[in-house]
Amino acid sequence: MADLTRIAQIMAEAVNGPGRPALPERLCTACVEALAVEAASITLMADTGHRAGVWASDRRARRMEERQFSLGEGPGVDAFRGRSPVAVADLLAPDEVRWPVLVAALAPADSGHPDPDHPDPDDVEADHQGLRSVYASPLHLGSASIGVLSLYRSAPGVPGAEEAADIQVAATSVTLAIVGSFMTPSGEVPVQPWLDDPPVNGVEVDQAVGMVMVQLGVSAGEALDRLRAHAFAHDREIDEVAHEVVLRQLRFTEEDR
């Protein structure tokens, strides 16, 4: 088991650090330093269809989170929905069937059958970029859920009981840090500029959902599904598609129903 005092100290230093990078990104970097993981991401959301943003320790983790949200499936999505941790020993395992669309999307474009023992870190089409195992922990305080902390490694395997306990300490620290950042000792709610322009902006997705609802006359859930389907069919991220919808560069018609 890791030194819990050391974990607490590293997380505290991230909370009290300078304003840049943003708090969630500092917390991701702190998780990588405090735990035996290679990459980390924090996704804040009200529900699985409405996301405030994604922050990550590196591009690989951010890409993994973007792809899960675009497809609407994955360990982070399940962890948030189920309000319990989800551990995946190997995202590329042949018997991994929980998220078939995600697993297919992670495969290199050339063969569709990645060699899990020899991932190519230079293959930009392989979304996993060498990340193989993931531990996704929901971020919640009482009955309120605010998002998910996802931790990645390049080697297959799942954390043991003691290591999982360390991860939960870090996840609790992340939750308290983010919730606490919205309150001052006087009870006032301070402005958090990092929410206005997160690395992946969920606001435009919500705006695009509203526009697609009007264009197709469908519910919010179906409009989000249409955005996801379009993104998947054109091998793009949902944020890119939403941006074009908001700018009126892309319009959904009856043919897209």
Domain residue limits, the chain:
4-180, 201-256
> Hey, how many other C-beta atoms are within 10 angstroms of the C-beta on 221?
11
pLDDT at 21 over 90: no
Distance CA 162, CA 235 (A): 39
DSSP labels for 14-47?
HHTS-SSS-HHHHHHHHHHHHSS-SEEEEEEEEE
Q: How many alpha carbons lie under 13 Å from residue 52 in its C-beta half-sphere?
A: 16
pLDDT tens for each residue of 35-55: 999 999 999 887 656 677 889
Domain 201-256, second-level architecture: Orthogonal Bundle (1.10)
The proportion of the chain whose per-residue pLDDT surpasses 90, expressed as a percent, equals 35
Distance CA 114, CA 111 (A): 7
- Beta-carbon contacts of residue 166 (< 8 Å; ≥ 6 apart): 1, 2, 4, 7, 35
pLDDT tens for each residue of 182-205: 766 665 555 565 665 566 566 677
pLDDT tens for each residue of 79-121: 999 999 999 999 888 777 789 888 887 765 444 444 444 444 4
Distance CA 140, CA 160 (A): 22
What topology does CATH give the domain 4-180? Beta-Lactamase (3.30.450)
Q: How many alpha carbons lie under 13 Å from residue 202 in its C-beta half-sphere?
A: 21
Mean pLDDT value across residues 174-188: 77
Q: What is the pLDDT of residue 33?
A: 95
123 band by pLDDT with thresholds 50, 70 and 90: very low
Task: Tell me the pTM.
Answer: 0.75
